[in-house]
Structure 1
Amino acid sequence: MSANDLIEMEVQREVDDPALPDDEALRRWVEPVLREEGAVMFNLRLVDQAEGWALNRQWRGKDYPTNVLSFPASSPAIEGRRVLGDIVLCAPVIEREAVEQGKALEAHWAHLVVHGLLHLLGFDHTHAEQAEAMEAREIALMAELGFDNPYESDDAS
């Protein structure tokens, strides 16, 4: 069984935007993160600013739209697949950040997909030690995908 067969990913597109990555790109970014996780399933939801704002307010108490939200699952396996949870990606915020941070849009999308998946796998960045481990993993995965260090431009500012 290939990694592709082990990963069940549902993509929900709640926003119509030609700049959105296609399913093939999303799967390409997901596979290296999950290749050692066995049979898994999760949802990726691509949303507009209003939905991103509402979800961030409801679940994090933050009254603004954010780029990515991760909702780890606590449900049992389904048909032998571990349920990871849901990732919500807010397209307008991602596009705006890419411009503001001088990043290629594709690279920023890839980074946030990787970042969201790592949260579903238990990575966090609330404490310095956790943040270092998570960022190191993100940097390595992004390099494997052919992208630069996603934190490089952030460190320069």
Structure 2
Amino acid sequence: MGTLDFVLQNEDEIEGVPSEADCLRWAQAAFDAVTQKSPLNPADNPIPWELTLRVVLPTESRELNREYRGKDAPTNVLSFPFEAPPGISIPILGDLAICAEIVEQEAREQGKASNAHWAHMVIHGTLHLLGFDHIHDDEADAMEALEISLLAGFDITDPYGDAKHS
């Protein structure tokens, strides 16, 4: 399996953010699950793939969401896949922007443990960087099934179920 060169940026020193090690474990699990069966297979490229997770305030999340998605509101996670110029292969997955305040609010509202919801958002965002989407039902079903499986590996229950989550 390949590795991620992972950087956690928390420039505003927002409290309650999981450790870089935890975030890396969650992102690495998603990366490993997808790349084992893909052209990104790290066995062919021993150089680590770069992924940056930036923890943002609602104001920055809103600005990014407005600029890149046309939605004038903060959101839990935004994914920015790296697009290399044609003919150039650079091992960069891209960047995630996670709004800590939104993640914490959603966890409370949904009766989830904060760390469990953070794990879900990191995995969800990493899967977006790896090409997954949930625009169409079949894509959403595949993405959700993989998220559920990956989260179960961390003893986190189905985030889409009705039960309270650990």
Give the drift of 1:71: 0.7
Q: Report how many residues are paired.
A: 148
Secondary structure (helix, strand or coil) at the match of 2:123 reads helix
Partner of 2:20: 23
Q: Is 1:7 paired with 2:4?
A: yes
Give the drift of 1:83: 1.0
**Of 78, 96, 100, the match for 1:91:** 100
Structure 2: how far apart are the matches of 1:72 and 1:135? 19
Structure 1: how far apart are the matches of 2:51 and 2:78? 13
Partner of 1:69: 78
Give the drift of 1:77: 3.7
What is the letter of the counterpart of residue 101 of structure 2?
P
Which runs of 5 or more structure 2 residues have no equivalent in the other structure? 43-47
Partner of 1:56: 65
Mean Cα displacement is larger for which, 116-125 or 9-18? 9-18
Secondary structure (helix, strand or coil) at the match of 1:70 reads strand
Question: Residues 14 and 48 of structure 1 are in contact (CA less than 8 Å); yes or no, is this contact kept in structure 2?
Answer: no
Secondary structure (helix, strand or coil) at the match of 2:66 reads helix
Mean Cα displacement is larger for which, 130-139 or 67-76? 67-76
**Of 116, 123, 130, the match for 2:132:** 123
Secondary structure (helix, strand or coil) at the match of 2:106 reads helix
| Alignment TM-score, normalising by the size of structure 1 | 0.88
Mean Cα displacement is larger for which, 16-25 or 109-118? 16-25
Secondary structure (helix, strand or coil) at the match of 1:152 reads coil
Give the drift of 1:11: 1.4
Identity of aligned residues (%): 45
Give the drift of 1:68: 0.2
Query: Over residues 21-41 of structure 1, what are the superposed CA-to-partner deviations in whole Å (9 max), with x where a residue is unaligned?
Result: 111111121221112342311
Query: Over residues 27-81 of structure 1, what are the superposed CA-to-partner deviations in whole Å (9 max), with x where a residue is unaligned?
Result: 1212211123423111111001110111001111101100000011112444xxx
Which runs of 5 or more structure 1 residues have no equivalent in the other structure? none
| Alignment TM-score, normalising by the size of structure 2 | 0.84
Secondary structure (helix, strand or coil) at the match of 1:129 reads helix
Runs of 4+ in 1 over 6 A off after TM superposition: none
